[in-house]
Amino acid sequence: MNRRAILAIVRRDLLTVSRSKGVMYPLIIVPLILMVAMPAALGYFMPASTRAPNVNIGELEQFLAQMPATLQAQFATYTLEQQLIVYMLLYMFAPLFLVMPLMVSTVIAADSFAGEKERKTLEALIYTPTSDMELFVGKLLSGWLPAMAVSLISFVLYGVSANLSAWPTMQHIFFPNAMWLVLVFWVTPGAAALGMGAAVLVSSRVSTFQEAYQLSSIVVIPIVLLVLVQALGVIYLSVALTVALGVVIWIAAVALLWWGVRTFRRNEIIARW
Amino acid sequence: MTAQASAVIVTKGLTRRFGALTAVDSLDLVIEQGEVLGFLGHNGAGKTTTVRLLNGVLTASAGQARVLGLDPASDGVALRRRTGVLTETPSLDERLTAREQLAIYADLYDVPRSQVSARVDELLEAFQLADRGDDRVSGYSKGMRQRLALARSFLHKPELLFLDEPTSGLDPVSTRQVHTLIREQSRSGDHTVFLCTHNLEEAQRLCHRVAVLEHGRLVAIGAPAELGRNLWQGVRLEVETSPACVELASSVIHAFPAARDVTLAEDRPILTLALADREQIPQLVERLAAAGAPLYRLDPQEPTLEDVYFALHGEQEATR
Ligand SMILES: Nc1ncnc2c1ncn2[C@@H]1O[C@H](COP(=O)(O)OP(=O)(O)O)[C@@H](O)[C@H]1O
Ligand SMILES: [Mg+2]
C-alpha cells in the first residue's frame, strides 16, 4: 500500500468536504444540539420539574418502576431526582450518541463517492498510479477519521455538559460509566464503518450527493428503535448488551465494506458512466 | 507480440465493446518515441475509450496493447506512473486552490517530496496561473481551468502524454496559449504525445503524424501532407490577382461549382481554394479571364487535413 497516495486522497477529500456548507452544517449543528444543548437542558431542568406544583410524583415513580430490575438495583440508594438524571443522561442518550459516527460517515461518504460522481472529478484520480484498493482505502479513511474525531469530541463535550448541568443534583461525577466506554471505543468505530459501508452501497446506485445522503441516513433508524425499546423498559444497555451490539454492527460494517472493496474497480466505475 | 524497440505504443486488434456497440474496433497502431500523434475523429469515434484502454483504466474486450513496454491490463499502476493524462473534462476539484490541487497530485504521482513546492511554483508560472494559484478553482475561467488541468498532467514529467481534446470549447486566445504550452512542453526532452482532437487545424499544427478514426476503426494514418497526397486526388491552389479585382475574382471563384473551402487573405489580394480534380484548373482560369480579373500567380499548395477528411468522409461528414 502506497501510504503517501492514500494520505493525499484523504487530504484532498477532507479539504473538499470542509469547504462544503451542505456537509459542514450538519456536522457542527447536530452534535451541538444533541450532545451539548439537550443534556444540559435535561440535567438542569429535570430535577426542578419534579418539584413543580402540578407534577404527579406517583407517575414518575411508576415510570422508573417499570425499568429492568437490575437497573433499579444499581441505583437503589439514589433519590428520585438522581434516578431520573442517571436514567436519562446515562441510558436514554447512549443510543443517540451513535447518531454521531453514523451521520458524519454517511454525509462525508455520500459527498466523496456519489458527490464525486456528480461533480465528475473522479476521472483524474482514476488515472493516477494508485491501485483500486488504495483509492478505496483513501476514500474510506476520509470519512472514517472525521467520524471518529467528531464522535470523540462529542463524547468529551457530552461528559462536560452532563456532569456540569446535573451537578446540583448529583454532587459527584457520574458520567461516563463502563457501558459508555464500551460504546465509545468499541461500538462507535464500528458504527462509523457501517455508515461508510451504507453510503458506499447507496452511492453506487444513485448519482447525486443529496440522494445518497438521504438514502444512507436510513442506517439511523435502528438507533431510533433502540431508543424506543429502552424507553419502554424492554431492555437497557448493559455492558454485555453494548458489547453484543458492537459485534452486530461490526459484522454488518465488514460485510458492507467487503462488498464495497470488491465492486470498487476503476474499470467498472469508468464503464458505468 | 513483437514490438519495435523504440515504439512507445503498440496495439494489435485492440477492441472495446459496450453491449452491441463497438467503441474501438480492432485498432492496430505503432507510435514511436518522441512522436506527436494526432488521433483525429468525430464525437463518438472512440478516442476517449482508446485513451482509457491504453492507460489500463478500462479493460479491452479483445486484442492486446503494450504501452512503454507494459501491459496496461496487468501493469496499470506502473504504467500510469509514467503517463500523464489530460482528461476530456478537466476533472478539477472546484473547492481546492490550484496550488493545493497540484501538491496533492504531486503526492499521488510520487514527485520527490523535496521537489514538490518548487515544481508546483514552476508549473503555476509556466501556465500563467501564478497570481491566481491560491484562489479556488470555482472562480476560474474555462481557459484557466484547462491550463491548470494541463499543468497537472505535466506534473511528474511523464514520458507519454495523453491529451484528450485539449482545446475544445476554448476561445481562440486560450486555444493559442494551450497550443504554445503543448509545443513547448513536448519539445523539451523526448516526450511522446497522443493528442485526441476533432480539430483538423490543431492536428495539422501540432502533430507529426495523424491517425484518422471513424466509428472505432482506423481509416488512415500518416504525416498530414503525406496523407493528403495519398488519399486526395484534388489540388489546393493559391491565386493572386490585383488589389482592385479581388472582389470580382472572389465572386467568380465562389460561383465556380467545383471550388471548395475558398478563403481570402486578409492583407493581400490572394485567394486559396480546393478543387477535387486538376482538370478543373483550365476552366477556372478561363472564367477568371472572361470576367476580367488578372491572374498574376497560380500556385499549388500542400493539401490540408480537411482535404483528406473530404476525401475520406464526403462533404456532409466533413462539415458536420
Ligand atoms: N462507458 C460507456 N458505456 C457505453 N457506451 C460508451 C461508454 N463509453 C463510451 N461509449 C460509447 O462508445 C463510443 C465512443 O466513445 P468515446 O470513446 O467517448 O468517443 P470520442 O472520445 O471519440 O468522442 C460512443 O458511441 C460512446 O457513446
Ligand atoms: Mg472523447
Question: Taking every pair of C-alpha atoms in chain B, what is the biggest distance, in angstroms?
Answer: 74
- A186 Cα to the center of ligand 2, angstroms: 48
- B281 and B257 housed in the same domain: yes
CB contact (8 A) between residue B107 and residue A267: no
- A29 Cα to the center of ligand 1, angstroms: 44
Are A128 and A47 in contact, with CB atoms under 8 Å apart? no
Distance between CA atoms of B319 and A57, rounded to whole angstroms? 88
Residue B126 CB partners (closer than 8 Å, separation 6+): B151, B181, B184
In a domain, B320, yes or no: no
Q: What is the pLDDT of residue B170?
A: 86
In a domain, B289, yes or no: yes
The minimal CB distance from A119 to the residues B87, B94, B107 is found for B94
CATH number for the domain including B113? Answer: 3.40.50.300
Give the nearest chain A residue to B92 (CA atoms).
Answer: A121
The minimal CB distance from B96 to the residues A16, A123, A125 is found for A16
Are A142 and A16 in contact, with CB atoms under 8 Å apart? no
Per the structure, how many domains does chain B have?
2
Comparing B124 with A88, which gets the higher pLDDT? B124
Residue B76 CB partners (closer than 8 Å, separation 6+): B55, B56, B57
- B135 and B243 housed in the same domain: no
- B91 and B130 housed in the same domain: yes
Q: Quickly list DSSP for chain A.
A: --HHHHHHHHHHHHHHHHT-HHHHHHHHHHHIIIIIIHHHHHHHHHHHHHTSTT--HHHHHHHHHTS-HHHHHHTTTS-HHHHHHIIIIIIIHHHHHTHHHHHHHHHHHIIIIIIHHHHT-HHHHHTSS--HHHHHHHHHHHHHHHHHHHHHHHHHHHHHHHHHHHHHHH-S-----HHHHHIIIIIHHHHHHHHHHHHHHHHTT--SHHHHHHHHGGGGHHHHHHHHHHHTTS----HHHHHHHHHHHHHHHHHHHHHHHHH--HHHHHHH-
- B198 and B68 housed in the same domain: yes
CB contact (8 A) between residue B107 and residue A121: no
DSSP bridge partners of B217: B214
Render pLDDT for B203-222 as a digit per residue (tens, 0 to 9). 888 999 999 999 999 988 99
- B13 and B55 housed in the same domain: yes
Distance between CA atoms of B123 and B111, rounded to whole angstroms? 13
Q: Which three cell numbers mark A184?
A: 465509545
Q: What is the pLDDT of residue A47?
A: 78
Q: Which residues of chain B from 27 to 56 reach within 8 Å of chain A, CB to CB?
A: 52, 55
Q: Which three cell numbers mark A61?
A: 415513580
Q: Which residues of chain A from 130 to 149 reach within 8 Å of chain B, CB to CB?
A: 130-131
Distance between CA atoms of B65 and B54, rounded to whole angstroms? 7
- B193 and B61 housed in the same domain: yes
Give the nearest chain B residue to A20 (CA atoms).
Answer: B95
Domain range for B286 is: 233-302
Q: Which three cell numbers mark B179?
A: 497550443
- B246 and B260 housed in the same domain: yes
Does the structure show a pLDDT above 60 at B2? no
Q: Quickly list DSSP for A89-157.
A: IIIIHHHHHTHHHHHHHHHHHIIIIIIHHHHT-HHHHHTSS--HHHHHHHHHHHHHHHHHHHHHHHHHH
Whether B21 and chain A come into contact, CB under 8 Å, resolves to: no
Instruction: Give the domain-ending residue among B213, B229, B245.
Output: B229
Q: What is the pLDDT of residue A71?
A: 81
- Ion ligand 2: residues, Cβ under 5 Å: B 47-48, 88
Render pLDDT for B125-155 as a digit per residue (tens, 0 to 9). 999 999 999 999 999 999 999 999 999 999 9
- A271 Cα to the center of ligand 2, angstroms: 14
Name the pLDDT band for B259 (thresholds 50, 70, 90).
confident
Q: What is the pLDDT of residue A273?
A: 60
Distance between CA atoms of B270 and B289, rounded to whole angstroms? 16
Q: What is the pLDDT of residue B317?
A: 47
Nearest chain A CA: its distance from B199 CA (Å):
23
- B283 and B195 housed in the same domain: no
The Cβ of residue A218 has, within 10 Å, a number of other Cβ atoms equal to 11
CB contact (8 A) between residue B77 and residue A130: yes
Q: Which of A36, A53, A40 is nearest to A97 (CA)?
A: A36
**ipTM score of the complex?**
0.87
* First and final C-alpha spacing in chain B: 38
- B263 and B176 housed in the same domain: no
Q: What is the mean pLDDT of chain B?
A: 89
| Helix, strand or coil, per DSSP, at residue B229 | helix
The backbone torsions φ and ψ at residue B127, rounded to the nearest 5 degrees and listed phi first, read -100, 20
For chain B, what is the radius of gyration of the CA atoms? 23
Residue A142 CA: distances (Å) to CA of A16, A135, B40, B130: 10, 11, 40, 29
For B19-119, list the strands marked E by DSSP: 21-32, 36-40, 62-67, 83-86
Which ligand has its closest atom nearest to the C-alpha of B23?
1
In a domain, B312, yes or no: no
Residues of chain B positioned with their CB less than 8 A from the CB of A267:
57-59
CATH number for the domain including B268? Answer: 3.30.70.100
- B218 and B270 housed in the same domain: no
In a domain, B276, yes or no: yes
In a domain, B11, yes or no: yes
Residue to mutate among B59, B68, B104, B153, with most A CBs inside 10 A, is B104
Q: What is the pLDDT of residue B86?
A: 96
Global pTM reads 0.84
Nearest chain B CA: its distance from A64 CA (Å):
52
In a domain, B313, yes or no: no
Residues of chain A positioned with their CB less than 8 A from the CB of B81:
129
Comparing B189 with A55, which gets the higher pLDDT? A55
Instruction: Give the domain-ending residue among B175, B199, B229.
Output: B229
Q: Identify the segments of chain A with pLDDT beneath 50.
A: none
Q: Which of B44, B85, B149 is nearest to A126 (CA)?
A: B85
For chain B, list the strands marked E by DSSP: 7-18, 21-32, 36-40, 62-67, 83-86, 160-164, 192-197, 209-214, 217-222, 235-240, 259-264, 270-275, 297-301
Render pLDDT for B37-89 as a digit per residue (tens, 0 to 9). 999 998 899 999 999 999 999 999 999 999 999 999 999 999 999 999 999 99
Q: Which residue has the cell 479556488?
A: B136
Instruction: Give the domain-ending residue among B171, B204, B229.
Output: B229
Residues in contact with ligand 1 by the CB-under-6-Å rule are A 271, 273; B 18, 21, 23, 41, 43-49
Nearest chain B CA: its distance from A111 CA (Å):
13
DSSP state of B244: G
Does the structure show a pLDDT above 80 at B292? yes
- B24 Cα to the center of ligand 1, angstroms: 9
CA atoms within 13 A on the CB side of A208: 4
- B198 Cα to the center of ligand 2, angstroms: 9
Distance between CA atoms of B156 and B148, rounded to whole angstroms? 14
- B70 and B205 housed in the same domain: yes
Which residue's alpha carbon is at the smallest distance from atom 24 of ligand 1? B44
- B47 and B117 housed in the same domain: yes
Whether B144 and chain A come into contact, CB under 8 Å, resolves to: no
